[in-house]
Amino acid sequence: MTKIKQNSNMSTMREPFSSLLRRAILESGLTRYAISVKSGVNQAALSRFVAGKRSLNLESVDKLVEVLGLEVRMPRKRKDG
């Protein structure tokens, strides 16, 4: 399972979630067609997203996260003292 981690250093620039998702798609080892079939996300929309030409709605993002086995984690809050 691929994990998408949020850097705990607030001053560091973070990679946008859309870029992380694009990278996960490209590094998945699956074709865009296979991802499209498994997720139900339109193949043309998926290709436009990967090419950076379009965004995806949250329903499509949810489907892709599930098919790609991604996990989004929130940072743990530090206890002072």
DSSP per position, 23-55: HHHHHSS--HHHHHHHH---HHHHHHHHTTS--
Residue 79 has a pLDDT of 75
Residue 38 has a pLDDT of 98
Residue 75 has a pLDDT of 81
Domain 17-69 = CATH 1.10.357: no
Residue 10 has a pLDDT of 45
Residue 78 has a pLDDT of 76
- Bridge partner residues of 70 (DSSP): 2
pTM of the model: 0.75
Q: Which residues of 53-81 are buried (b: 16+ CB within 10 A; e: fewer)?
A: eeebeeebbebbbebbebeeeeeeeeeee
Residues of the chain short of pLDDT 70, as ranges, are 1-12, 80-81
Residue 6 has a pLDDT of 46
Percent of the chain with pLDDT over 90: 69
